[in-house]
Amino acid sequence: MANLPEPAVAARFPRTARVRAQADYARAFERARRTSHPLLTLHWHRAATPPRLGLAVSRKVDARAVARNRIKRVLRERFRLLRAQLAGGDYVVVARAGASTARAEQLAEAFVQTLRRAGALPAPAVDGTMPPPLNSPAASSTSHFTDEPESDAG
C-alpha cells in the first residue's frame, strides 16, 4: 500500500465534532434555539463546548438512501469548513422535503443562512463598511494621518 500524505488536522471531521448520543439530540430538540428555512431547520443548543453537528434526514425527505446521504454529505462538508468560525454548542439540522431536489450549492447556502439568522455565524461585512487595510494603496491615498505637522496659515 502506498504511503499517502496525512491530511491536515483542520480538514478532518472527528467524532468529537458530531452529535451522536440520543440524549444530546433530545436536549437540542427540547431546549435549542430553532431557525427555519424552506430546505431545513436548525436547532442550536448553545454551550461552552466546541461546535458539534447532528443530522436528521428521514425517509420522508426522500425514500432513496443515496439522496439522503447526499444531503448529509453536503451539510457535513459545509459545517467542517465553517466550524472554526461557529459559536460553541450542538447544531442539529433537520432536512425538509425540498432538500432532496435542491442542488448542493442551494443546500450549503440555506445552511449558512440559517446559521447567520440564528446568530451562530457572524454576518459578512457589507462592501464599503470596512476601511481598507493599512498597507493597501487605497488606504495611503485616503489617510488623514501624515508625518507633517498641520500649519496654522490660512
Task: Say what the pTM is.
Answer: 0.73
Q: Is the pLDDT reported for residue 109 higher than 50?
A: yes
DSSP 101: T
Q: Is the pLDDT reported for residue 95 higher than 80?
A: yes
Q: Is the pLDDT reported for residue 86 higher than 60?
A: yes
Contact 55, 76 (CB under 8 A): yes
Structural domains of the chain, with CATH: 14-119 (3.30.230.10)
* pLDDT for residue 64: 97
C-alpha closest to that of 90 among 36, 37, 39, 30: 30
Q: What is the mean pLDDT of residues 69-74?
A: 97
Q: Is the pLDDT reported for residue 1 higher than 80?
A: no
Q: What is the mean pLDDT of residues 74-84?
A: 96
